[in-house]
Structure 1
Amino acid sequence: MKVEQIYTGCLAQGAYYIVSGNEAAIIDPLREVQPYLDRLEKDNVTLKYIFETHFHADFVSGHIDLSKKTGAPIVYGPTAEPSFDALVAEDNQIFEIGNAKIKVLHTPGHTMESSTYLLIDEEGKETAIFSGDTLFLGDVGRPDLAQKAANLTQEELAGLLYDSLTDKILPLSDDITVYPAHGAGSACGKNMQKETVDTLGNQKKTNYALNQQNREAFIEAVLDGLSAPPKYFGMNVAMNKGGYESFENVMNKGLNPLSPNDFETAAEETGALILDTRPAADFHKGFVPNAVNIGLKGDFAPWVGAMIVDVKQPLLLVTEPGTEQEAITRLSRVGFDNVIGYLDGSFESWKMSGKEVDEIKRISPEEFADQFNTDSKVIDVRKPTEYAAEHVNDAYSKPLDAISEWAGTVDEKEHFFLHCAGGYRSMIAASILNSRGIRNFTEVEGGFNGIKKTGKVPTTDFICQSKL
């Protein structure tokens, strides 16, 4: 028997590939399924089942395309109501893969259909759980996402999650391996560990949620400090539950090279958003007017979802040459399937055509330190917890994910400095502000990390974020 975790860092997402004998199962596959097909062919095995732990909110699963290409049925836990053919399992139902077995443990709480899959090896030993968003390493799934669909309060869902963990997970052996659907960096939890695999015994010791004294304490603990979920989550759930366009069609439509003239015409006629995926270091020096910069070399897809929100929004891409396919793939993972083309020759072709070019003023941390004084206005776009841990004295906390709310309050007559932790998020903010006509600012390269290293700018005392 073989178990392989296929972890995608930019989504903090784990898919799983299980082989026993000449049969295989895949759990929570990514949108692009060719890598799975290649594995199946290489191992000369047949895909017997595609297991979904729940209707995912933070990414679009590849279950539908994978089922169409292999003929393998899609399996959901009890109460699931997908809009396509699938096997809706019963609690404790067992599925055979070669000489191994997978047992369905219905574990509602994150969502009502959420299920944990218990792997039983060829010798009959319970060896691992694929816990989806029910149990993470260091945390549990947030119980506030499915309130509307379940017609329950977040407190009621949290109570169901407590019951699921207490009745179905905690009685299992300590030596069982825990394979979660997500790790640190995912918006599906608030306190996840950096590791992606652990034993259940260690989680019983170290996971705060598994160490609450009673149901009421658990509910209070898991609901405390939850930030608002990204607004695109509901649209991803709808796609996972209702179906979506094939990945091949999305790719073929998006791989449409456009000359500068055609690119400009398409932008004007379609109302497409121009998404520039180049690094911030290149973007600020020159870009197509009104373009929004979200660098491909970073947490690209989650920030696209958080900033653009509407998965149906038409997109025109400006990319580093040769990265068009990667950009379209990563956009599709969070449901942004409406890429209508990309700028052929990247920004250089636009610049060489003589068309209008825009820029963002960016300075080094040392330059910021030299220009900073007690009258300087500084906007910090990091998360509130990062800001609370340590920040430039008197800086304003304006988180990037709330820019739509605070951008309209900016006084355009008053110059301000803009920074994040390292420069990725602040350039996203800078490009959005610039596209809205707010230009009286200077973005700081290297962000707070660089500012702190200068030793010249007064900051608040550091507080460990784990204590916030």
Structure 2
Amino acid sequence: MQIDIIETTSLGDRSYLVSQAGTGIVIDPQRDIDRVQDLVARRGVTVTHVLETHVHNDYVTGGLELARVTGAAYLVPAGDDVTYQRVPAADGDVHRAGDLQITVVHTPGHTHHHVSYALAGADGEVQAVFTGGSMLYGSTGRTDLLGAEHTDTLTHAQFHSVRRLATELPAATAVFPSHGFGSFCAATPTSGTSSTIADQQQVNPALTQDEQTFVDELIAGLGAYPAYYAHMGPINAAGPAPVDLSAPRTVDAEELAGRLAAGEWVVDLRTRTAFAAGHLPGALNFELGTNFLTYLGWLYDWDAPLTLIGDSAEQVATARRELVRIGVDRIAGAAIGTPEDLSAGADLGSYLVSDFAGLATHLAKHPDTVVLDARRDDERATGGVRGSVHVPIHELRDRMDEIPDGEVWVYCGSGYRASIAASLLARAGRRPVLVDGGYGDPETGSAAAGLHAESVAV
């Protein structure tokens, strides 16, 4: 049994291809299925089954389309209300895929109808279990995505689901979750990149704590999650449209100026320092990288016209691929070139970039300077720059009037969210200074600069 991992680092998720004697099984595929198809071709297998552990809340699935183009059986949890034809996956069902045996295990918690899939070889011995958002590496899937009224029930269910897997499966069974590699679908931070049932017996809270302690601590630790999640479940239940990765229409400087003047979403994909040095006024900076999709999806006005600015066609194509993974299909256009090329002679915007040492020096001379902390509440609870104003990045647009007048130095845990915040401030006519660095970095962060406060109001 060959198991290939297909990483989607921008979402913190994994999909899988299982290959055995010419047969292929795909679990929880992302929307851009060409990655799966390329791997299937390299392995020389025929996909007979596509398995969904649950109706996903953090991305648009590619399962329906992959099953359609391959002719594979499409297994979706039996209890989920979907509008398309599928093979309902109910607890205890057994499916044959060549020499492989797939057993469905109902593991509610992340959702009500969530299932895991135990895979056995020709000898009937279970070798791997695909746990979706149930048992993660040193954690479990979060239990609050279906609404607060379900959270307590689902958290208790999650405890019993993980214990069921640990009880019913051999200790040597390899565990393959879909979430837990940076995904906000994890209830608490995960640990490691591979594991077995035996390993999880030692470290997973659902297996090392009593039920009420597990429930209380999981619920207490749940923080904010991206706003775009609200759209994922309905899209997946209705059946996503086939993916479109074609290049967006080219937008010239004149049209770009009109969109900026109209206050539309114009997103500059360049690095935060390049954007700060010179950008089209009104554009927002979402640097293309690991965090791009999470935070653009979190802040974006769903279905609003979206125009991309990139250095190259390849950069725009990468952003396009990322966006279709969360169902942002209608890109209004893209402009490629430097800000000077795209400004049509108009003045560019810019703002200063510093670091925590620079902030410390500045505060020593100007102690009344406004400092903005753009991190989440759970991060802020561990400490912050003394005297700073705390507004999480996903709340900043609605709380801009809470930021005192004057120059605003803005920081976060890495510099990424601070760069978004700085561009939002600049668009609002404010004077930001980007603190480019991580608050908790031991060498260059707030503590090293003498700015760390152990506890701050949240």
Q: Structure 2 length as normaliser, TM-score?
A: 0.92
Match of 1:466 in 2: none
Residue 417 of structure 1 deviates from its aligned partner by 1.5
Give the one of 389, 393, 404 matched to 1:396. 389
Between the aligned partners of 1:203 and 1:157, the Cα distance in structure 2 is 20
Pair 1:175-2:175 in alignment:
no
Match of 2:67 in 1: 67
Change (3 A) 1:157 1:302: same
Deviations 1:374-399 (A, max 9, x none): 43332121233433334322223322
Give the one of 281, 284, 291 matched to 2:283. 291
Q: What is the number of equivalent residue pairs in this alignment? A: 451
Match of 1:318 in 2: 309
Classify the secondary structure of the residue corresponding to 2:3: strand
Between the aligned partners of 2:290 and 2:214, the Cα distance in structure 1 is 34
| Contact 1:302-1:334 at 8 Å conserved across structures | no
Match of 1:357 in 2: 348
Unaligned runs of 5+ in 2: none
Paired amino acid for 1:217? T
Match of 2:95 in 1: 95
Change (3 A) 1:460 1:243: same
Deviations 1:142-198 (A, max 9, x none): 1111238xxx53111212222323334433222111101112421112323242220
Residue 451 of structure 1 deviates from its aligned partner by 5.2
The alignment-based identity, stated in percent, is 26
Query: How well do the aligned residues superpose, as a CA RMSD in angstroms?
Result: 2.3
Match of 1:231 in 2: 227
| Contact 1:319-1:343 at 8 Å conserved across structures | yes
Match of 2:204 in 1: 207
Match of 1:191 in 2: 188
| Contact 2:133-2:177 at 8 Å conserved across structures | yes
Query: 1:217-366 residue pairs with structure 2 within 5 A?
Result: 217-248=213-244, 251-252=245-246, 254-265=247-258, 272-308=264-300, 310=302, 312-321=303-312, 322-351=314-343, 353-366=344-357
| Contact 2:339-2:348 at 8 Å conserved across structures | no
Paired amino acid for 2:419? M
Residue 411 of structure 1 deviates from its aligned partner by 2.3
Classify the secondary structure of the residue corresponding to 1:452: coil
| Contact 2:270-2:287 at 8 Å conserved across structures | yes
Residue 346 of structure 1 deviates from its aligned partner by 4.4
Paired amino acid for 2:8? T
Match of 1:376 in 2: 369
Between the aligned partners of 1:157 and 1:305, the Cα distance in structure 2 is 26
Change (3 A) 1:384 1:146: closer
Between the aligned partners of 2:348 and 2:137, the Cα distance in structure 1 is 47
Between the aligned partners of 1:456 and 1:432, the Cα distance in structure 2 is 26
Give the one of 421, 424, 442 matched to 2:433. 442
Between the aligned partners of 1:235 and 1:454, the Cα distance in structure 2 is 39
Change (3 A) 1:83 1:429: same
Classify the secondary structure of the residue corresponding to 2:221: coil
| Contact 1:209-1:221 at 8 Å conserved across structures | no
Residue 316 of structure 1 deviates from its aligned partner by 0.2
Deviations 1:336-361 (A, max 9, x none): 1111211032434214x313422233
Residue 443 of structure 1 deviates from its aligned partner by 1.9
Unaligned runs of 5+ in 1: 464-468
| Contact 2:310-2:336 at 8 Å conserved across structures | no
| Contact 1:19-1:97 at 8 Å conserved across structures | no
Between the aligned partners of 2:282 and 2:336, the Cα distance in structure 1 is 18
Between the aligned partners of 2:201 and 2:455, the Cα distance in structure 1 is 30
Paired amino acid for 1:244? P
Change (3 A) 1:288 1:261: same
Match of 1:367 in 2: 358
Paired amino acid for 2:37? L
Match of 2:159 in 1: 162
Pair 1:433-2:405 in alignment:
no
Between the aligned partners of 1:314 and 1:281, the Cα distance in structure 2 is 26
Change (3 A) 1:340 1:245: farther
| Contact 2:277-2:351 at 8 Å conserved across structures | yes
Paired amino acid for 2:361? D
Change (3 A) 1:454 1:162: closer
Between the aligned partners of 1:440 and 1:344, the Cα distance in structure 2 is 27
Residue 19 of structure 1 deviates from its aligned partner by 1.0
Between the aligned partners of 1:146 and 1:315, the Cα distance in structure 2 is 28
Classify the secondary structure of the residue corresponding to 2:35: helix
Decide which structure has greater strand share.
Answer: 2
Between the aligned partners of 2:71 and 2:155, the Cα distance in structure 1 is 36
Between the aligned partners of 1:288 and 1:415, the Cα distance in structure 2 is 20
| Contact 2:49-2:73 at 8 Å conserved across structures | yes
Give the one of 418, 421, 425 matched to 2:413. 421
Residue 454 of structure 1 deviates from its aligned partner by 8.8
Paired amino acid for 2:297? G
Residue 237 of structure 1 deviates from its aligned partner by 1.2
Deviations 1:193-239 (A, max 9, x none): 2422201111111112322223x333212211211332110201111
Paired amino acid for 2:354? I
Residue 37 of structure 1 deviates from its aligned partner by 1.4
Deviations 1:427-453 (A, max 9, x none): 11111222233x133222225347537
Match of 1:20 in 2: 20
Q: Structure 1 length as normaliser, TM-score?
A: 0.90
| Contact 2:223-2:378 at 8 Å conserved across structures | no
Change (3 A) 1:461 1:85: same
Change (3 A) 1:330 1:166: same
Between the aligned partners of 2:280 and 2:219, the Cα distance in structure 1 is 43
Deviations 1:258-311 (A, max 9, x none): 221233345567x6410111110111111122111111123111111111152x
Between the aligned partners of 2:191 and 2:395, the Cα distance in structure 1 is 26
